């Protein structure tokens, strides 16, 4: 074992000395390789982290949301629907929810306006996300000027800012009391936007959803897992879109790498011949080339992944954020919680480090199986 380790050390030592001899070629290769891994890893980190963020926020959401549709479109739900649903066996509680969107012409942004379960402030007060303060425009004496559904001016006072850790969803959020919400939106008493349904046994979700539709045919139950799936699809779609955009760069890299790695120069071929003549056998040459490929690809992988980690989790992914984050017009600015999916990282490793290493070994193998006496001539 010690002998084996010593041999690996010799080859690694030789490889590093060899690589340093061709600084320009290997430096260029390393730079491009690192850049490609950096970009792909950034997208993967970002997508995973943003999905995680959304999932962790939805943990607290009700198991099921019941909407009402009229002519296939979302409509307000009468509160007696809640009473009807509550009688279904397995339903723990039903909470009417009030929420909607407010378009502010000055900032040309849509904001989400909601009534939380326990709003601690008085009527006329609001709690807002960071993005609202940043994008609203003129905010004087902590007051926002809004227009109600019938054109009246409604002045609301900012009582608090929503915590940053939930900024993905809360950035464009305005929380207020029920009377203020109804005054702003014109939603009459006795109606809610939708109903949040808590269920005792999660396995019964779909059965209960069926019962709700049977009892209230114009209702539309939406399960939490469906929302999670939608989020996943949305972010996967966005990351796929970015990856497609990067495909050109990745392809260019592979052509570049293929050319650099497979095209052994006359000098490299002679060197392999010399090594063979000096007593290295084919497996020694392949081992040395393995270390050469590994040294470049592993360095590029580590640099690219570390760079991507810093880019996504410390710099908020400035290169991709508009393509990946944006909800409507408002781009929330927030730092993602650093989470890395080891499985994704392993995939990236096996799709980059291994192929490159193999690609560098194949041409060397072709040369190293020939008789070493060619170097004598």
Partner 1 sequence: MSPRFFGFIPFRWISAVIQLFKITKTYNQGRPNEFTALKGIDLNVDGDRITVFKGPSGSGKTTLLSIVGCMARPTSGRIKLAGQEITSLPERFLAENRRKTFGFVFQNHNLIKGLTVLENTMIPAYPTGEKHRLIKERAKDILRKFQLDAKALQRVELLSGGEQQRAAIVRALINDPPILIADEPTAHLDTELAREFMEIISELKKEGKTVLIASHDPLVHESPFVDRVVALRDGLIVD
| Token pair listed for 365 | 């193998």
107 three-state secondary structure: coil
Write out the two tokens for 320: 């991709």
Least separation in angstroms between CB 371 and partner 1: 5
83 phi, psi to nearest 5 deg = -65, -40
The two three-digit tokens of residue 48, written as one number: 């995973």
Contact 153, 145 (CB under 8 A): yes
Output the smallest distance, CB 267 to partner 1, in A.
Answer: 8
Give the nearer residue to partner 1 in terms of CB position, either 157 or 283. 283
Q: At closest approach, how far in Å is the CB of 276 from partner 1?
A: 7
> Residue 94 or 275: which CB sits closer to partner 1?
275
Longest dimension (CA), the chain: 98
Q: Looking at residue 319, what DSSP letter applies?
A: T
Nearer to partner 1 (CB atom), residue 3 or residue 73: 3
Q: What are phi and psi of 335, to 5 degrees?
A: -95, 130
Task: For residues 124 and 154, give the distance between their C-alpha atoms in angstroms, rounded to a whole number.
Answer: 8
Is the Cβ of residue 9 or residue 74 nearer to partner 1 in the bound state?
9
Tokens (6 digits) for 202:
């999660």
Distance (Å) of CA 314 to CA 318, 338, 340, 348, 369? 10, 9, 14, 21, 49
Query: At its nearest, how many Å lie between partner 1 and the CB of residue 26?
Result: 12
Q: Which residues pair with 102 in a beta bridge?
A: 111
Q: Which residues bind partner 1 (CB under 8 A)?
A: 3-4, 6-7, 9-11, 13-14, 17-18, 20-22, 267, 270-271, 274-284, 369, 371-373, 375-377
> Smaller CB distance to partner 1: residue 13 or 83?
13
Hey, is 72 helix, strand or coil?
coil
Residue 319 is encoded by which pair of tokens?
Answer: 């290169």
Nearest to 306 by CA among 271, 277, 348: 348
Dig out the tokens for 337 from the structure: 């919680």
């Amino acid at each position: 074992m010690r002998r084996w380790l010593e041999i690996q050390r010799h080859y690694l030592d030789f490889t590093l000395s060899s690589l340093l001899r061709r600084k320009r070629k290997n430096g260029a290769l390393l730079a491009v390789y690192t850049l490609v891994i950096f970009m792909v890893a950034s997208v993967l980190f970002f997508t995973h982290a943003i999905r995680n963020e959304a999932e962790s926020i939805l943990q607290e959401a009700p198991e099921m949301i019941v909407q009402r549709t009229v002519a296939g479109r979302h409509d307000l739900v009468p509160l007696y629907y809640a009473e009807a649903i509550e009688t279904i066996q397995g339903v723990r509680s039903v909470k009417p929810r009030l929420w909607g969107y407010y378009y502010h012409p000055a900032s040309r942004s849509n904001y989400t306006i909601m009534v939380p379960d326990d709003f601690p402030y008085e009527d006329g007060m609001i709690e807002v996300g960071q993005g609202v303060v940043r994008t609203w425009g003129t905010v004087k004496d902590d007051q926002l000027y809004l227009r109600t559904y019938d054109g009246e001016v409604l002045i609301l006072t900012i009582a608090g800012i929503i915590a940053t850790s939930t900024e993905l969803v809360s950035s464009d959020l305005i929380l207020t009391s029920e009377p203020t919400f109804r005054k702003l939106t014109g939603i009459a008493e006795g109606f809610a936007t939708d109903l949040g349904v808590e269920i005792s046994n999660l396995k019964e979700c779909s059965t209960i959803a069926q019962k709700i539709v049977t009892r209230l045919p114009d209702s539309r139950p939406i399960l939490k897992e469906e929302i999670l799936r939608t989020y996943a699809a949305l972010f996967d779609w966005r990351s796929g879109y970015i990856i497609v955009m990067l495909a050109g760069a990745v392809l260019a890299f592979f052509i570049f790498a293929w050319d650099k790695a497979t095209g052994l120069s006359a000098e490299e071929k002679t060197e392999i011949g010399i090594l063979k003549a000096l007593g290295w056998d084919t497996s020694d040459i392949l081992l040395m080339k393995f270390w050469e490929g590994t040294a470049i690809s592993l360095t590029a992988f580590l640099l690219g992944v570390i760079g991507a980690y810093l880019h996504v989790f410390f710099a908020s992914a400035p290169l991709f954020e508009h393509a990946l984050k944006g909800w409507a017009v408002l781009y929330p600015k927030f730092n993602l919680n650093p989470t890395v999916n080891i499985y994704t990282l392993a995939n990236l490793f096996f799709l980059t480090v291994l192929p490159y290493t193999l690609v560098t070994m194949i041409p060397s193998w072709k040369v190293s199986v020939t008789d070493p006496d060619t170097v004598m001539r």
